[in-house]
Amino acid sequence: MTNEKFSHTHEQMATKPKKTIHRGQPTTGKTHDPGSNSNKEESTKGSKRMTDELENIETAIEASQKSVVSREKEVGESAEHVDGPVGLDIGTSHIVMAQNKGKTINTVKQLNAFFTIPSSKFTKKILVENDVTFFVKDDLFYILGYSAQNFANMFNTNTRRTMEKGLLCAKEDEGVNVLQALINTLIKKSKKQGEVICFSMPGEPLDGPNSVIYHESIINMYLTSLGYNPVSINEGLATVMSELANDNFTGIGISMGGGMCNICLSYLSVPVITYSIQKGGDYIDNMVGVSVGEPATTVKVVKEGGFDLSKPPKDRVETALGIYYEDLVHSLLQSLEDVLISTDKIPKISKAIPLVLSGGTVLPTGFKTLFEKTMDTVELPIAISEVRIAQDPLNTTAKGAMVLALSEEI
């Protein structure tokens, strides 16, 4: 039986506001000559438009093969007036902005987190003097991004997040305002009305009731208010756009982030199937913490501090990390088998296709080997030629969004 929820053969590669189509002027009683100058002008304009669009696509394909130069947003650094189309990865852990700059794609990363403290005139003076990023609401200072992390470390506690499991967090009343403020630390209002900005979106969760519609609409409306023409792209498809140019953008892209894993089967850049599971790096941190009686933040430090899946574990934390990494990969691949088997929308592909992995969860040494080993336990109805790790896993989604933004520029 076809699983219609995750079969999208007619889904467009990106969603954007509908354009008004002018079908002609009111009738005046005159007969239009097919060979008139006006028709010739329209034909010329149409040809030029097609030429421009083809050039944009070529530029996008070239950009997909560029390397990434990345950096973290510095505390106190002003937002940029971006020049040209923009890619924006809005993830549970970080927000990453990407631009096409000469021979490279340049990305700037901001922590998607905040911290609140009581407001006072004295505290405000100190915050301003130290270039701390914040805004004020209801007698509270909302400290943003990496500044928030510094405060949380000083108070020996955790930052708060605007998103949970890949979507806006319903538990945070000010989550939307904080997310908008965080975006403002990376980009200013568009200098040119209608500049294309492509932002990442999760697939509809396979294992949860959360709908992506509200999340997408909030981001779309805010970017529009800044003067941009927003276009959304599925995170799995962004991985394909970033990494599979030499494979005609055909393959399976999987983005394994902090909040969820996003999966996309793409054929010639068209997303045939997209979905997500609400397990990711945060799931590993939390479950390991519960299992061994350690804070999730402590587990995260171990995980990101050189943890190696290919070596025997040194202690209880590493043992639990190995167990929950295996659990996550098995859950992901089992979902992929179930979804692919349940649909009749898979295109007839004559040869095996690549599978590419991105996101912070794929970073530990030995992850690719674990993934390939686990693949032997499932039976996918599509032949996989190879498993790849993205060239720059932490910036793949932003780069893929940038590639699409370039192709969508008019």
Judgement on whether residues 131 and 260 belong to the same structural domain of the protein: no
Query: 54-58, 64-68, 77-81, 297-301: which has the minimum mean pLDDT?
Result: 54-58
7 vs 343: CA distance, rounded Å? 7
Residues 272 and 140 in one domain: no
Q: In terms of domains, do 122 and 204 share one?
A: no
DSSP per residue, 373-390: HHHTTS--SS-EEEEEE-
Give the integer Cα–Cα distance in Å for 355 and 239: 10
Could you tell me if 271 and 319 lie in one domain? yes
Answer whether residue 7 is part of any domain: no
Say if strands 167-168 and 163-164 run parallel, antiparallel, or are unpaired: antiparallel
Alpha helices in 343-377 (DSSP H): 367-375
The domain of 278 spans: 52-112+161-408
- Asked if residue 390 is part of any domain, the answer here is yes
Q: Are residues 83 and 130 in the same domain?
A: no
173, part of any domain? yes
Looking at the structure, tell me whether residues 145 and 260 fall in a common domain: no
- Sorting pLDDT into bands at 50, 70 and 90, what band is 81? confident
42: confidence class by pLDDT, cuts 50, 70, 90? low
Question: Mean pLDDT over all residues of the chain?
Answer: 86
Same domain, 232 and 293: yes
Specify if 19 maps to a domain.
no
Cα gap 81→203, rounded to integer Å: 30
The predicted structure's pLDDT at residue 338: 96
What pTM was estimated for this model as a whole? 0.83
Quick one: 126 and 217 in the same domain?
no
Percent of the chain with pLDDT over 90: 66
122-177 pLDDT, tens per residue?
Answer: 999 999 998 899 999 999 999 999 999 888 888 878 889 999 988 998 888 899 99
* pLDDT tens string 328-382: 999 999 999 999 999 888 888 889 999 999 999 999 999 999 999 999 999 999 9
Q: How much is the average pLDDT of 64-78?
A: 88
Residue 136 covered by a domain: yes
SS3 content of the chain, % helix, strand, coil (to 5): 40, 25, 35
Q: Into how many domains does the chain fold?
A: 2
Give the tens place of pLDDT for each residue, 91-107: 999 999 999 988 999 99
- Picking from 201, 250, 227, the residue whose alpha carbon sits closest to that of residue 92 is 201
Q: Which two tokens stand for residue 316?
A: 């209880």
State residue 44's pLDDT score: 55
| Domain co-membership, 255 together with 124 | no
In sequence order, the 6+-apart residues with CB closer than 8 A to the CB of 13 are 233, 237, 269, 270, 271, 404
Q: Which amino acid is at 381?
A: P
The torsion angle over the Cα atoms of residues 361, 362, 368 and 374, rounded to 10 degrees, is: 30
Residues 138 and 246 in one domain: no
Is residue 14 situated within a structural domain? no
pLDDT at 40: 57
| Domain shared by 94 and 226, yes or no | yes
Question: Is residue 32 one of the residues assigned to a domain?
Answer: no
- Three-class secondary structure of residue 235 per DSSP: helix
In this predicted model, what pLDDT tens digit does every residue of 213-251 receive, in sequence order?
999 999 999 999 999 999 999 999 999 999 999 999 999
CATH number at residue 354: 3.30.420.40
In a domain, 352, yes or no: yes
> Is residue 136 domain-shared with residue 192, that is, in the same domain?
no
Quick one: 273 exposed, middle or buried, by C-beta within 10 A (0-12, 13-18, 19+)? Answer: buried
- Identify the residue with better confidence: 397 or 46: 397
